[in-house]
Amino acid sequence: MGEIKSQQIGLFDGAVTDKKRGRAAFEAGDFEAARYYFNKAHALDPCLSDLSLLQNVTNLLSELIQKNGRSKTGLIRSWKTLVATRCRGEISAREFALAERPLCQLLLQKISEKDVGYLDGREQSLHIGYCYLVLNDFRQAHHLILDYLTTYQLFDARLWGYLGDCAWQLEWYDEARLDYLRALFIDSMRLDYEKLAYPDLKNLYRELKMTYPDEAVAESLIPIFGWLNGLFTIPQQDGVMRQYVARKHWQQRGTLPLTNLERYRRFAQCLFLDQSRLQPSIDFELRIEMQQLAPKLFQQYLNKL
């Protein structure tokens, strides 16, 4: 009896070992070897934790690599296909996070000194710093993203969101909140909220999404409720960020916002401009506009002051 039990334990130990070997091959981008070891582990213990998940993701990546190849262009194409698959709800957020790690690892092996920003050129969807962020190299990701923002493209909301994620993971919480603030007031619809490192901001997104079925409307409210809920503060300033928001607000002057999305985005601009004022006097025109745009939100705003 004891001998049989020992044999059973040995089988389970073998399954765990094969799973570990498969995971190592998976992380290295050797998906055929990963599939081999995961299948061996499954034959020994089909109930092993996360094994089915790993098998499914490995099969998906094998198909993508077989179709697109392992060149830099092919890997980028595979990553974009993965993003589209996630957006259609065909894979879970967990499967996506697991799948993009080896793709980013393989991509970083293909880069050259010329690759300092977006790896897909004009399409601007995959930044080199994001690859390091996915691989948890937060300092390198922070360095590359900040350098790109300050050198090439200061008002890239998505990159400010990624920079906030890096700073949060590095426990630079004050900087992270400022980074998220910039991202939200540049364009709140460009952030990947489900992947945010700031838990309260992610939870706010989920709450608003449940309240407002239109996701774009929910996202337009995040800068407003983020400030109302104290997730960040808006510093008084007269720098480039205030100038950017003021310019966007001025460009829309005289137009009547007809949709909730337009009203909330305009209200957020007014909120930022009102809070960032250096002068102690009240800008009554700005506050009248806020009241006209969203009376209930404006009352909440006044209660917060």
- 239 and 272 assigned to the same domain: yes
| Block residue for tokens 């952030």 | 191
Q: Specify whether 94 is located in the same domain as 128.
A: no
Position 145 scores a pLDDT of 98
Cβ atoms within 10 Å of 236's Cβ, excluding its own: 12
Q: Is 115 exposed, middle or buried (0-12, 13-18, 19+ CB in 10 A)?
A: middle
Domain count, the chain: 3
Question: Given the structure tokens 């977006």, which residue do they identify?
Answer: 118
| Whether residue 143 is found in the same domain as residue 171 | yes
Are residues 139 and 197 both part of a single domain?
Answer: yes
* Domain containing residue 135: CATH number: 1.25.40.10
**What are the 10-residue block averages of pLDDT along the chain, 305 residues in total?**
46 82 94 94 89 95 96 96 95 95 96 87 93 98 97 96 99 98 98 95 97 96 98 92 95 79 96 93 93 96 95
Q: Is residue 55 domain-shared with residue 133, that is, in the same domain?
A: no
Among candidate residues 110, 129, 158, the one where a domain is terminated: 110
pLDDT of amino acid 12: 59
d(CA 171, CA 160) in angstroms, rounded, equals 16
Backbone angles phi, psi at 127, to 5 degrees: -95, 145
> In terms of domains, do 13 and 60 share one?
yes
Q: 118 in helix, strand or coil?
A: strand
Specify whether the CB–CB gap between 206 and 221 falls below 8 A.
Answer: no
Residues 93 and 130 in one domain: no
SS (H, E, C) 140-200: HHHHHHHHHHHHCCCCCHHHHHHHHHHHHHCCCHHHHHHHHHHHHHHHCCCCCHHHCCCHH
Range of the domain at 43: 8-110
Residues 142 and 174 in one domain: yes
State in Å, rounded, how far the first CA of the chain is from the last one. 74
pLDDT for residue 2: 43
Contact 124/92 with Cβ under 8 angstroms? Answer: no
The one-letter code for the residue type at 1 is M
Same-domain pairing of 33 and 73: yes
Three-state secondary-structure class, residue 127:
strand
pLDDT score for 241: 96
Instruction: Give domain status of residue 281, yes or no.
Output: yes
Q: Which of 188, 164, 192 shows the shortest CA–CA distance to 87?
A: 192
Q: Is the residue at 215 inside a domain?
A: no
Asked if 250 and 302 sit in the same domain, the reply is yes
DSSP state letter for 123: G
Which of the listed residues 92, 110, 128 is the one where a domain comes to its end? 110
Same domain, 105 and 15: yes
